[in-house]
Amino acid sequence: MFRPRLLAKHRASRIALIVPIVLWSSLAIGQDPADELRDSIDGAKNAISESNLALALEYLERANELVDTIEPRRVLTEEALKWDVAQVALERANGMTDDQQIAFFADQSIASWRVYVEWRRSLDEAGVEIIRRNPNSDRIQRAVNSMGNAFVRRGNLRGHSVRDLFAEFLGLPRQYLSSYSIGQWITWLHRCPTWDEVPNPSFGQLAQKFRNNEDVCRDDWEDFYFYLEAWLVEQELDTVVRGTFQRRFQQLGQALGHDSP
């Protein structure tokens, strides 16, 4: 069995952050990687049950390293581990109250969700089919939802900007974004560039701001408009949801001065 040890403190600015640095030493030389993988997963589960998220993240990261070395490829295990690493980091960010700690752990979560998304994009057809046959693992849209939540949690802290969320979503395959993520995108576009909450935001209100030449992130709205247009074509949506976003697309087009479809 392999045991993690917390080795160091990382000091940034004036606040010390405890950062887990993992040293893995074998008590049984030559332990089979599959056995170590099971040990690491069990260790993570126990740590999570005890609300020790720092230790859980160490176990999960080690398991994530191991799963890539095992043949034949264990797609469902890979998916679960990459999900858990990102989610635990997000939970840590949500549990923090200090701005520096929030930004640090939200950064960790965003990086881990990017790994998850790129891993999913890298799967061959056989791997994708394995995921599709297991609905509990077919959760790429939920992953992007959580990535968006991590961007929002980080917000504008420590030199970052909520605008980073817009760039991230623009670079993703449209089928990866759910109606939740599209709605989140709209919400924060309405707040751009001050990020203050806008009472009862509407596209009519937005159109007036455009006419007044106010700085309300028109370029970002333009990017979103064309993304939304393609998203509506490619995404499988139920009738009600499609109708809702089709109306928003038309209203935004009118606000931007584009011809209605």
The Cα–Cα gap between 75 and 55 comes to 24
Q: Express each pLDDT in 60-79 by its tens digit.
A: 888 878 877 765 568 998 89
Q: Mean pLDDT, to the nearest integer, of 195-205?
A: 94
Question: Which of 1-5, 40-44, 46-50, 216-220 reaches the highest mean pLDDT?
Answer: 216-220
Q: Express each pLDDT in 139-183 by its tens digit.
A: 999 999 999 999 999 999 988 999 999 999 999 999 999 999 999
The Cα–Cα gap between 224 and 231 comes to 10
Domain ranges, ordered by start, for the chain: 1-160, 162-261
pLDDT value of position 43? 86
Q: Residue 41: which pLDDT band, with cuts at 50, 70 and 90?
A: confident
3-state secondary structure of 20: strand
pLDDT value of position 126? 94
Whether the CA torsion 9, 68, 63, 135 is positive or negative: it is: positive
Examine the pLDDT at 55 and tell me if it is beyond 90: no
- Is it true that domain 1-160 has CATH number 2.60.300? no
The values of phi and psi at residue 63, to 5°, are -60, -35
pTM beyond 0.85:
no
pLDDT value of position 15? 34
Q: Residue 8 pairs with which residues in a beta bridge?
A: 19
Examine the pLDDT at 90 and tell me if it is beyond 80: yes
Question: Which of 18-32, 95-109, 171-185 reaches the highest mean pLDDT?
Answer: 171-185
CB 227 within 8 A of CB 174: yes
pLDDT value of position 42? 85
CB 59 within 8 A of CB 44: yes
For the residues of 156-169, what is the DSSP string, one character each? TGGG--THHHHHHH
Q: Residue 53: which pLDDT band, with cuts at 50, 70 and 90?
A: confident
